[in-house]
Chain A
Amino acid sequence: MKENLRVRLVIPAQQVQEGGFVVIESGDWQFYGLVIDLQLGATDPRFADEQSESRLPPELAQQLHGQTLFTNLEVLPALMLERGPEPGTEAYQRWSEEIDAGMRERPRTLPVKTVPPHHASVRQAGPGDIAEIFGDPEKDGNFVIGYTREQGHPMCLDLDKFIQRSSGVFGATGTGKSFLTRILLAGMMHLNRASVLVFDMHNEYGFDDTASDTGQRVIGLRTKFQARVRVVGLGSGANIRGNTPDYNLEIAEGDIMPEDIEMLTRELNLKETTPTTLEALVNSFGRSGWFNAFSRMRNGAMVEIEEEGKKKRIPAPDSVAAWANENGVNVMAAEGLHSKMTRVFDRTYVQTQPAADSIQEIIKSLEAGQHVILSFGKHESDLDYLLVSNLLTRRIRQAWEQRTNEFRSRGEGEPRPLVIVVEEAHKLLNREMATQTAFSTIAREMRKYYVTLLIIDQRPSQIYDEVMSQLGTRISGWLGDEDDIHAVLSGLAGREALRGMLARLQPKEEVLMVGWGVPMPLPVRSRRYDERVWQELLGKKSEVRRKETEILGDLGF
């Protein structure tokens, strides 16, 4: 089991690929595995070394090669399933009766715990096997994410399971991450078991877009889910690709906490004295008033006074230095912080008195079962992204924690599950930031509070290990960097075998699905984000409707 299974191939090697899903039949059990390697072999190395074609007549050479040269597959066994005796026999009858009577456990797929015997026959998985393991595409909640690479059988992702834990979509740039994310979001929004909040840094998901590589029109999620999706623009008068968002997000100065600034240490190049200065500010003006007060102070302003007949220049009463002197704070440190924070003070979306509490509005939308796409509009810098996403997430986290605690104590009003979609996640979840942002807490423990993350990133190695290890489902496109590959596969069984597979994925439209949310790792040809996705998704809905009308008809209405 440590060394994987070896399978002698009896069909041409071209018909099997690395990553193929195979079924091993052995008596009452079926084993499911993944082809992780193909090796050429010979009963004697000399048969492989010598060019016997030139020495022997072609018929003989062919027969000789047929028996002495071969291809071996290395199969990573993943799951096993009890199939029971041959259907139609008396033993099968007895077996199924025992199950029905509860004397025997109903067969279900188990992680592999034993090995099939020698010479068990191995075959490529058919659509039935894939449906057995990955779920039936017809069943609600199962969403066709792609097709098997060799035979093109549809492969499902159980979205219910997918949203139960944090997940990640990885891949080098240009491997189709954002298209795959669109498909996933479409699936989640359609299934509607959880609200989705997307931090859309590059304004891709809400409104219609044009694909960067093919130049084709890409339908936005807002276009298809008019009633359910709210696009929120950052800053008043935000304009997202020529469209007006449903409402705008403005941040009240009172909402900005010292920790939000501390989190920007690297971005603003802050000094170690920052926490002390911030603490003094909070002491002077309170948690909700410090930002406003500090932003109003003048940096370096001086006034002249006469003291004992001499003119003297001292800091103006509304200057940073005057406040620092009064509160025993290092003047240089306070002035330095003030000048560095100018970038934050200048943000147009940070208002003293915003027209509405738009953060609360977003939370309400999410609680009401709507999905929110927060487009950053023209505020595309890392500073905006870090500040806004962290602030918003902190508020959301508080709201959900509160609701969950209420639900736990009173037993009513179960919070609606929420998935927060974070692009460029390594900016928020890297080693230095992870302890300071709300995201790492969500990844680690918010599952209990109904909030999970969907991380989209091209440099998974930059994400904090502790967060990576908590990701349930990981969907990864091609990755070139050894460290990135290592990060994606961290904490998984058989990762050595999967490592090569990840590096050899096609650069486009092929992804490897691994982790808790999928029964076993499998490379998939991801589906195209096209009209068919929508037809299948929204088509299903109309079928349901027809059924309803039929029922009503039957009832005589």
Chain B
Amino acid sequence: MSQLEIGRLLRADTSGFVVGCRAAQSMSPSFGSLVNVPQEGNYAIYGLVHDIRIDDDGLVRQLATAEGVEDSVIADNRINRNVPLEISVIAVGYRKGERIYHLLPPRPALSLDEIYLCEPEEVRLFTGSGSFGYFRHILRQEELPTGELLAAHIRQANQAHEAVEKGIWAKAAIREIITLLRDDHQTLMQVLGALGDALYE
């Protein structure tokens, strides 16, 4: 379904993976996007982008401080980097055959597997299936910027859903978040604050 390749897998564990990509590819996924890693046997792992990291190398450091560097040199260094951009993804579910599960994948993807950005239709299918079970993977990761990630994800996913039916999905998603977080006032208020900024500008 999804055809926009964004990179290849660098390392993975059950709860997430890191993708390496070229600078040109890095422009397509954004924070909170849903991506998938097709595997053999009509099996695919889904994840949410939660971090995009651009590391430096020795040459970049030199160029950053050098004077009179030509534009072509800078452009060359940006595009043909020695160190790839790293996109960190949190695993949120998988698809086996036509069925979507909001569970952690049974086994992680392998190195150098290709990673694709999900099209709106696939986003709608994944997020609309079941009852938001994948939220718990996001909320479990304490080091994640939960509020921002949920806000970005819900905003993007809502756009995919709005095309089909207006306002219903986001409302249900927010209700689920409140239910999951109602005993944690601080986190809930952070998430709702971010959601307020993202959805109701």
Residues of A within 8 A of B (CB): 43-44, 46-47, 52, 55-57, 59-60, 63-64, 67-68
Contacts and interface: CB of A to CB of B under 8 A. Distances in A.
B136 interface: no
B175 A59 contact: no
B193 A44 contact: no
Contact of A60 (B182, B183, B185, B192): B192
B196 A68 contact: no
Interface in B159-201: 171, 174-175, 178-179, 182-183, 185, 188-189, 192-193, 195-196, 199-200
B131 to A, nearest CB: 15
B137 to A, nearest CB: 22
Contacts of A52: 189, 192
Contacts of B182: 43-44, 47, 67-68
A100 B174 CA distance: 54
Given A60-B195, A64-B192, A67-B179, A44 B185 contact: yes
B185 A46 contact: yes
A375 to B, nearest CB: 68
Interface in B72-129: none
Given A57-B196, A57-B200, A63-B171, 18 more contacts: A43-B182, A43-B183, A44-B183, A46-B185, A47-B182, A52-B192, A55-B189, A55-B193, A55-B196, A59-B200, A60-B199, A60-B200, A63-B178, A64-B188, A67-B175, A67-B178, A68-B178, A68-B182
Contact of B174 (A47, A63, A68): A63
A57 B182 CA distance: 18
Contacts of A55: 189, 193, 196
Contacts of B174: 60, 63
Interface of B: 171, 174-175, 178-179, 182-183, 185, 188-189, 192-193, 195-196, 199-200
A164 to B, nearest CB: 54
Contact of B175 (A43, A47, A63): A63
7 smallest beta-carbon distances between A and B, as pairs: A57-B200, A43-B182, A46-B185, A67-B178, A44-B185, A57-B196, A56-B196
Contact of A56 (B175, B179, B185, B193): B193
Contact of B192 (A43, A46, A56): A56
A55 B195 CA distance: 12
B178 A64 contact: yes
Contacts of A63: 171, 174-175, 178
A51 to B, nearest CB: 12
10 contacts: A43-B182, A44-B182, A47-B185, A56-B192, A59-B200, A60-B174, A60-B199, A60-B200, A63-B174, A63-B178
B169 to A, nearest CB: 14
B151 to A, nearest CB: 11
Contacts of B189: 52, 55
A443 B183 CA distance: 58
A457 to B, nearest CB: 52
B111 to A, nearest CB: 42
A46 to B, nearest CB: 5
A118 to B, nearest CB: 18
A494 B188 CA distance: 41
A47 to B, nearest CB: 7
Contacts of B171: 63
Nearest to B170: A59
B196 A60 contact: yes
A52 B182 CA distance: 14
A193 to B, nearest CB: 59
Contacts of B188: 64
A365 B127 CA distance: 86
Contacts of A47: 182, 185
B168 to A, nearest CB: 13
Contacts of A68: 178, 182
Nearest to A56: B196
A404 to B, nearest CB: 68
A68 B196 CA distance: 17
B3 to A, nearest CB: 36
Contacts of A44: 182-183, 185
